[in-house]
Amino acid sequence: MTRLASVAALKERQVRVAASRPVGQQVVAVCGGTGCLATGCKDVAKALEKELGSAGLKDRVTLVVTGCHGFCEQGPIVVVRPQSTFYPRVQVKDVPEIVARTLAKGEVIERLLYVDPVSGTKIERESDIPFYKGQTRIIFESNGHLSPTSLDDYLARGGYGALAKALTTHTPEQVIDEVTRAGLRGRGGGGFSTGRKWASARSAKGEPKYVICNADEGDPGAFMDRSLLEGNPHSVIEGMLIGAYAVGSRHGYVYVRHEYPLAVENLRHALEQARAAGLLGEGILGTTFGFDIVISRGGGAFVCGESTALMASLEGKVGEPRAKYVHTVEHGLFDKPTVLNNVETWANVPAIIANGAAAYASLGTDNSKGTKIFSLVGKINNTGLVEVPMGITLREVVFGIGGGIPGGKKFKAVQTGGPSGGCLPESLLDLPVDFQRLTEAGSMMGSGGMIVMDEDTCMVDVARYFIDFLARESCGKCTPCREGLLACRDILARICEGKGKDEDLSTLDELGQWMTAASLCALGGSAANPVLSTLRYFKHEYLAHIREHRCPGGVCKELITYSIDTGKCNGCHACVKACPPDAISGALKAMHTIDAAACIKCGACLSVCKQDAVVRR
C-alpha cells in the first residue's frame, strides 16, 4: 500500500476503497473468531471459495473471513449481505446449497435458519435475532463486517478518520477534553476516568512518555478484548494513536496474553500495514506527530493485568505490583509518565472523536457513559459477546438477549467482574448495570464477564473456585493477600467437604475485611468479593453444607451421590459402557444401578444418558 502522505490522501483512499464496494453488492461473511475456528469455520470458508469459483460467482460475490461476530454458541456463522440472511452452525456439506440457492438466486434455505430457543421459531435476518436485536453495537459492530487483515476494509468504514480529525482540528488538550466530556471510564476493571488519566500524564514531567494497551485479559470468563484485537486490530491502533497524540507520547506497547496467538498475529500484521501506510512512524499523515507500537507477549500471570505489575513485566522483571501512592501517570514504565488503558477502552476512543463527546455520552447513565461489551456465558441459551448501553438491566441481558436458562432450569445467580467481582441473586435482576450500581451491590463491572448460573450451580463451590484461582495467582508480595487467600481456601475446602463449622462463616467474613483493607494491589483488595457476596446473598447454601452436609447445587463431590431413576431408565446400557470404574450394573433392556462404593463421581453416566435418568444430588 502506498504511503498516505496527508489527511487529503487518507480521505481520497477512503473514498476510493468505499467506491469499489458499491451498496447492494453481495457479500458472504464467514466468522473467523476463535469460537468459530473451534467448530471448523476455516473449512467452511475454503469450501465457499472453491464453490464460488466453480459456480463462476467470484466476480459478483465477495467472500470475507471476518473477526468474531460474538454469537460463538452458533458457530460456524455465515451471513449473506445485503439481505443479512443468517446461517448458524454451517457445515462444509451445506456450502454447495448456500452458493447455488442463496448466493446465486437469492433464495433463503429454510433448514439452515436459526431457531430461537425461546419461541422455537425460525428467524431469517441477523438483525431480527433476539441476541443481536437487543444490542447497541458501536465498538463491536465492525467486527462482523471487515477482514482483520485488510486495512482497506477498515478504511472503507471510515477507519483512521478519527485520527485525521484529531490531528487536524483538535489540539491535544481538546482531544483530552472531548474524551473527558464523553465520560469514558476504563473498561478493564478500575473504571477510572480516561480523560483525567490522560490529562495527568500530559502535564506530568518526564520524557519519553509511554502509552500502553493492556491486552492481558486474564479475567476468567471474559474474552471481548481478545475478539476486538483479533477482529479489528486497527481500531485499537487508531485509539492508541489518538491517545498518544493527546498525552504527547511517541512510544506505545501492547501487552498481549500468550494464550492469544491469533490476536498477536493479526495485530502484528495490522502494525506492519499501518507502518507501510504512514499511519505509524514519523510524520504521520504529513504532520509532525510520530508514534510507533511494540508488541510484548505476556507470561501468563493473572496479576500482570494490574497496571504496575504489567509495567514491571514489560521491563523484563517479575510481575509484582507496587503500592499505588506513586501514580503511573507520573512514574510508570521505566519510571516515566505512562498511560495504560485496556483494549476495549482504546477501541472506544475513535468513536468518541469521530462522533463527538455529546453523541457518545447520550448513551448510558449519570456515572457510566456509552456502551459496554459483556461476555455472556455459562448456563445461558445464547452465549457470546454482547454490546449494550450502560444502565441496561441484568434481566434484559440475561433473559432478553441471552434467551434465559437452558433446559428449563431455574436462574440462580449472575457473576460479574471476574475474580474480583461478586455473585448477584435473582432479586437483583432489575439492577441497572453501571459502575456504581454493581459496586453498591457487592460486585463490580470488572472487564465485563457475565457468567450466568442456574440451580445446578453451588455458590460455595463458586466462591471456592475464585479463591483457589486467586491463591494460585497471588504474586505473594504482600501478606494479607498471600496468607489471607490460603486461609480462605482451606476453610472453603472444608465447607465443601461437609466438614465446616458455623464459626467458619464469621472467620471468612473477618478475613475478607482484612484482605480488602490491607492488600497492596487490587488483586488482593478485591479478592474477598466472591466470598463476601456469596455470604451476603447465599448464606443458606453455606449453612446447608455446614449443618445438613448437603450441597443444594449438587456439585460438591464429597456431599453428592449418583443414582439412577428407575422410572426413567430404559436399560440402554450407554452409562454402563461409559463408566470408567465399571460401577454400573444391569443387563441390556433391564434397569441399571450404580454401586455407590465403586462410583468415582466423574459424571460420565450423566453426560451419556439420553433418558435423563441419572440423578446427581
Q: Where does this chain bind other proteins (CB under 8 A)?
A: 34-35, 37-39, 72-73, 75, 217-223, 226, 257-261, 296-302, 313-319, 375, 377-379, 383-385, 415, 418, 449, 451-453, 457, 462, 465-466, 469, 473, 475, 578, 580, 600, 602-604, 607-608
* CB burial readout 591-612, b (16+ within 10 A) else e: ebebeeeebeeeebbbebbeee
**What span, in angstroms and rounded, lies between the C-alpha atoms of 527 and 54?**
58
Instruction: Tell me how far, at minimum, the Cβ of 379 lies from other proteins, in Å.
Output: 6
Q: Which is nearer to other proteins, 301 or 583 (CB)?
A: 301
> Pairing mode, if any, of strands 449-454 and 411-416?
antiparallel
The least CB distance from residue 297 to other proteins, in Å, is: 6
Please say which residue, 296 or 393, places its beta carbon nearer to other proteins: 296
In 331-478, DSSP assigns E strands to 338-342, 371-378, 384-389, 411-416, 422-425, 449-454
At its nearest, how many Å lie between other proteins and the CB of residue 517? 26
Q: Position 508: which residue type?
A: L
CB-nearer residue toward other proteins: 259 or 595: 259
Minimum Å gap between C-beta 217 and other proteins is 6
Residue with cell string 502484528: 268
Cβ atoms of 197 and 359 closer than 8 Å: no
Cβ neighbour number for residue 465 with a 10 Å cutoff: 18
Query: Looking at this protein, which amino acid is placed at residue 198?
Result: W
Nearest distance from residue 72's CB to other proteins, in Å?
Answer: 3
Of 364 and 421, the one with the shorter C-beta distance to other proteins is: 421
Which among 312, 364, 372, 366 is positioned nearest to 338, based on CA atoms? Answer: 312
The residue among 164 and 594 lying less far from other proteins, judged by its C-beta, is: 594
Q: Please give the grid coordinates belonging to residue 530.
A: 466472591
Neighbouring C-beta atoms of residue 110, cutoff 10 Å: 8
**CB nearer other proteins, residue 453 or residue 522:** 453
Task: Indicate the residue among 36 and 201 with the shorter CB distance to other proteins.
Answer: 36
What CA–CA distance (Å, rounded) separates 32 from 130? Answer: 22
Shortest Cβ distance from residue 480 to other proteins (Å)? 20
Nearest distance in Å: CB 430, other proteins: 23
Of the two residues 451 and 546, which places its CB atom closer to other proteins in the complex? 451
236-275 in b/e burial notation, b at 16+ Cβ within 10 A? bbbbbbbbbbbbbbbbbbbbbbeebebbbebbeebbebbe
Nearer to other proteins (CB atom), residue 51 or residue 461: 461
Q: Is the dihedral of CA 102, 107, 109, 113 positive or negative?
A: positive
Output 298 or 500, the one with its CB closest to other proteins. Answer: 298
Q: Smallest gap, in angstroms, from Cβ of residue 427 to other proteins?
A: 20
Query: CA–CA separation, 3 vs 12, rounded Å?
Result: 12
Whichever of 244 and 376 has its CB closer to other proteins, that residue is 376
Quick one: 34 or 194, whose CB is closer to other proteins?
Answer: 34
Quick one: which of 366, 357, 320, 342 has its CA closest to 524? 320
Q: How far is CA 168 from the centre of its chain?
A: 34
Secondary structure (3-state) at 499:
coil
Closest approach of Cβ 473 to other proteins, in Å?
A: 7
Give min distance, CB of 528 to other proteins, in A. 17
Q: Using CA atoms, how far apart are residues 406 and 402, in angstroms rounded to an integer?
A: 10
Tell me the torsion sign for CA atoms 416, 421, 427, 428. Answer: negative
Closest approach of other proteins to the CB of residue 180, in Å: 31
Q: What is the DSSP letter of 259?
A: T
Nearest 5°: the CA angle 83, 87, 93 is 125
* Least spacing, CB of residue 617 vs other proteins, in Å: 15
* Residue position matching grid coordinates 459402557: 577
* Closer residue to other proteins (CB): 261 or 290: 261
To other proteins, the closest distance from the beta carbon of 450 in angstroms equals: 10
H or E stretch at 240: helix 233-247
Q: Can you tell me the distance from the alpha carbon of 549 to that of 560, in angstroms, rounded to the nearest whole number?
A: 9
